[in-house]
Amino acid sequence: MSEFSNTGYLNMELLRFTTAGSVDDGKSTLIGRLLHDSKSIFEDQMEAIVATSEKRGEDHVNLALLTDGLRAEREQGITIDVAYRYFATPLRKFIIADTPGHIQYTRNMVTGASTANAAIILIDARNGVVEQTRRHTYIASLLGIPHILACVNKMDLVEWSQERFDEIKKDFREMAAKIDTAIDVHFLPISALMGDNVVDKSEKMPWYGGPTLLGLLETLPIENDLNRSEPRFPVQYVVRPMREEFHDYRGYAGRVAGGVFRPGDAVKVMPSGQTSTLAAIELSGEEKEAAFAPMSVTMRLTDDIDISRGDMIVSGDCTPEVTQDLDVMVCWLGEKPLQLGGKYGLKHTTRDARCIVKAIQYKVDINTLDKIEDVDSVDLNGIARVTLKTTVPLCVDPYKRNRDTGSLILIEEGTNVTVGAGMIQ
């Protein structure tokens, strides 16, 4: 990373992406290839991978070993846990979440993909669109991931056939349209093992005129992925320095969850509905002309209003809904099933509450995407649409409009373990 100056690197745009696919579709190999060909591997890492590959009697350097960090993963040749990898090019810096393909690790995929700008969904060129492809595309859509990169891998095993690539492309489009017609999909024919169209352009597929995978990741437009039109600022902490020079100082610290705030803006504090004007925005002791997601700042208002942690400062005509009744898609992460009538702790932005499960509207069959009704529990890795009643009013937006103010987690009260990830509908 020596080619980047410290300041330049810190100011570079960050793209988070996740990878998903069936077992043996080549996810770990693809990430290894990305890191290797973009020269993001240290020499000692490379030497260790070469030595391990030789020891195992493999006839090529197994780049998958770069990401399969757990011993169980290396022994079984599968990905179990979410592995995060970091690399950068002169155009962008990246965080990769390598997530498992197995159905029993759905919760791991949900965790790894929850903050992603893009999802790489690998499809084996020999097998085409399979159940896991549907499941991963559905979860990516559910989590509101804005861009999907459908990588048709192992093109070397179908003799670099354009006809096969076009056939898979057609099948994927039909499947994606049933899930969500607004999904932004990009298709790439690649060979992770051989390196074709990953970092370097393939000479074996002259019929493909699009970018390489890295080229697409470097240029994918992500500036509109965050909600810039509806200002939201959940208050995390009230700043009251107990020093004489700051005798009357009162600031509100937190992270901007949407829109843009500027000094002079008329603001409203939710859920109380009190109004004021934004006096100043501060970051590291300096006043700023604007604050936008995901900046962490301190705001000061012109009026002395009763504001505490969990309240939300908003601006503009479109305010969040204040409600105690939530319609939520839940990915269940707990060992004990979600129960109809069950009581759970709930965390939404900076507000803590408790809730009861009033109804389970339906459960989703992850493989067929059919809705199963008349259920009273949801098992580990299950996805369901539920109705929750909360103990206090929450200021919420639909998840599709704002991933921060539209998401929540459910917590098992006795153990304080996170057992559910929810998207407000």
In this prediction, residue 75 carries a pLDDT of 47
Site of tokens 């962008």: 92
Reported as a single tens digit per residue, the pLDDT across 144-201 is 898 999 999 999 999 999 999 999 999 999 999 888 877 889 999 999 989 999 999 9
In this prediction, residue 361 carries a pLDDT of 97
In this prediction, residue 66 carries a pLDDT of 60
Reported as a single tens digit per residue, the pLDDT across 63-87 is 666 655 544 444 444 444 667 788 8
Reported as a single tens digit per residue, the pLDDT across 269-306 is 999 999 999 999 999 889 999 999 889 999 999 999 99
What sign results for the dihedral spanned by CA atoms 28, 33, 34, 40? Answer: positive
- The CA–CA distances, whole Å, from 129 to 23, 190, 313 equal 13, 16, 45
The list of the chain residues with pLDDT below 70 reads 1-10, 23-25, 41-50, 52-55, 57-82, 100-105, 242-246
- 37: Cβ contacts below 8 Å, ≥ 6 apart: 195, 198, 199, 200, 214
In this prediction, residue 106 carries a pLDDT of 72
Domains of the chain: 6-219 (3.40.50.300), 232-315 (2.40.30.10), 321-424 (2.40.30.10)
In this prediction, residue 2 carries a pLDDT of 41
